[in-house]
Amino acid sequence: MLAPIVSSALFIVVFGFSLGGRIRQVESFPYREFIVPGLIVMAMVQAAYSNNASSVFQARSDRYINDVLSAPMRPWQMNLGFNLGGVVRALMIGAGLAAIAIPLTGVPVRHPLFLIVAVLIGMVLFAALGTIVGIYAETFDHHTFVNNIVILPLTFLGGVFYSVASLGSPWEEVSHINPVFYLVNTVRYGFLGQSDVNEWLCLGVVTALAVPAYLWSQWLFSSGRKLKS
């Protein structure tokens, strides 16, 4: 857990304080405060996804997934256990990073309850995605490919370091296709009380993605597809 906390803290120091001298404010907030929610999302998303993708793939590769499948547990319990692993790891990393970022930058937490709900739903989405990819992956490169080529670029293009509202057309409209954009803005609203689009729309989009992703991972455990073969 230490590595993502340290790397994200370095982003805050390097970008927040060095660029903060040139980029005074974004959406009426100091730049060092503005980037904190997005950086926390970036660290947590990668942690939730990578934890489950690597864990499930390794279990399949080494065949000890068979011990889990033969245990006296129901499929929903197995699915819940794997997904909770990714969610808990992501929450611990997010809490550790917030503990550093809040006193370092002075970023406020305006809506803590909304923040908690948004983070939990978002982490369920990416933990379930990691479980799905871990089940389907045939090689180690497959699940790292999704992280490096899909999730990481979407995170950087989701408004972590900038306000999407400042982009010109058509890039502002294109950014609204990015699912990470909505998660970043739900978390930003929880911290700063402001987002590029309506916070309830953002939360609704994240939820609409998280529910089918979790149900998909549940179906994979219930059917045994790619797990028992």
Domain count, the chain: 1
Nearest to 152 by CA among 20, 10, 41, 25: 41
In a domain, 180, yes or no: yes
Pick from 128, 126, 143, 125: which is nearest to 57 by CA? 143
Task: Specify if 229 maps to a domain.
Answer: no
pLDDT in tens, 162-188: 888 777 777 778 888 999 999 999 999
183 within a domain of the structure (yes/no): yes
In a domain, 12, yes or no: yes
Does a structural domain hold residue 56?
yes
Compute CA distances 79 → 135, 163, 182, whole Å. Answer: 11, 36, 25
Whole-structure pTM value? 0.90
**Interaxial angle between packed helices 199-223 and 179-192, expressed in degrees from 0 to 180 and rounded to the nearest 10:** 130
Cα–Cα distances (Å) from 196 to 17, 91, 193, in that order, read: 23, 24, 11
Domain membership of residue 179 as a residue range: 2-223
Is the pLDDT assigned to residue 20 strictly greater than 70? no
Domain-embedded: residue 228? no
Q: pLDDT digits over 113-156, tens only?
A: 999 999 999 999 999 999 999 999 888 888 788 888 888 888 88
Q: If you average pLDDT over each of 39-43, 63-67, 206-210, which comes out highest? A: 206-210
- Is residue 23 in a domain? yes
